[in-house]
Amino acid sequence: MPQPPDERRASRFDRPAQRPGRSADRADRTKNRDADAGVGGRDRPRPPLPGGGRPDGGRDRDDRGSRPTYAPRDRTRAGPHLSGVDARDRLPRHESGAPPQDWVTGVHAVLALLERAPRRVVQVLLWSNDGRIEAQVQAAAQAARVGVVRRDPPAFDDPANPQGVAVQVTEFQYADLDAVVPPQGCADGAIYLVLDSITDPRNLGAILRSAAFFGVQAVIIPQDRAAGVTPVVERIARGATAIVPVVRVVNLARTLEILQQRGVFVVGTGLEPSSVELGGYTFTPITALVLGAEGGGLRPLVRRKCDEIVRLSGSSDMQSLNVSAFATLALHLVRAQHPSLAARRSDE
> For residues 85 and 205, what is the distance between their CA atoms, to the nearest angstrom?
32
The full set of domains in the chain, from first to last, is 95-169 (3.30.1330.30), 177-347 (3.40.1280.10)
Average pLDDT of the segment spanning 309-318: 76
Amino acid at 29: R
Query: 265-269 and 287-292 as β-strands: parallel, antiparallel, unpaired?
Result: parallel
- What pLDDT is recorded for position 4? 55
Residue 69 in 3-state DSSP?
coil
> For residues 12 and 14, what is the distance between their CA atoms, to the nearest angstrom?
6
- Look at 12 and 125; give whichever has higher pLDDT: 125
Residue 278 in 3-state DSSP?
helix
- What pLDDT is recorded for position 91? 47
- What pLDDT is recorded for position 90? 44
247, 218 contact by CB (below 8 A): yes
192, 321 contact by CB (below 8 A): no
Average pLDDT of the segment spanning 337-344: 67
Q: Which residues contact 16 (CB under 8 A, 6 or more apart)?
A: 22, 27
Residues in the chain: 348
Q: Fill in the DSSP letter of residue 297.
A: B
Give the range among 76-80, 110-114, 171-175 with minimum mean pLDDT.
Answer: 76-80
97 — pLDDT class (breaks 50, 70, 90): low
Q: Which residues pair with 266 in a beta bridge?
A: 288
> For residues 224 and 250, what is the distance between their CA atoms, to the nearest angstrom?
7
**Span 117-142, pLDDT tens digits:** 999 999 999 999 899 999 999 999 99
Cα angle, residue 211 at apex, residues 210 and 213 outer, rounded to 5°: 60
Q: Which residues pair with 165 in a beta bridge?
A: 126
- Average pLDDT score over the chain: 77
The secondary structure element, H or E, covering residue 165 is: strand 165-169
Give the range among 21-35, 77-91, 286-300 with minimum mean pLDDT.
Answer: 77-91
- What pLDDT is recorded for position 184? 85
Give the range among 110-114, 157-161, 258-262 with minimum mean pLDDT.
Answer: 157-161
Q: Fill in the DSSP letter of residue 276.
A: E
> For residues 229 and 201, what is the distance between their CA atoms, to the nearest angstrom?
8
Q: Fill in the DSSP letter of residue 1.
A: -
248 — pLDDT class (breaks 50, 70, 90): very high
Give the range among 34-43, 72-81, 124-133, 195-204 with minimum mean pLDDT.
Answer: 72-81
**Span 49-96, pLDDT tens digits:** 555 555 555 555 455 555 544 444 443 333 333 333 343 444 444 434
Judged on CB neighbours under 10 Å (0-12, 13-18, 19+), 233 is buried
Q: Fill in the DSSP letter of residue 62.
A: G
- What pLDDT is recorded for position 315? 64
- What pLDDT is recorded for position 270? 86
- What pLDDT is recorded for position 72? 47
- Look at 85 and 8; give whichever has higher pLDDT: 8
26 — pLDDT class (breaks 50, 70, 90): low
Give the range among 66-80, 116-130, 178-192, 284-298 with minimum mean pLDDT.
Answer: 66-80
Q: Which residues contact 205 (CB under 8 A, 6 or more apart)?
A: 232, 233, 234, 235, 236, 237, 240
16 — pLDDT class (breaks 50, 70, 90): low
The secondary structure element, H or E, covering residue 169 is: strand 165-169
- What pLDDT is recorded for position 231? 87
Amino acid at 141: A
> For residues 327 and 133, what is the distance between their CA atoms, to the nearest angstrom?
31
Query: Is the predicted pLDDT of residue 106 greater than 70, yes or no?
Result: yes
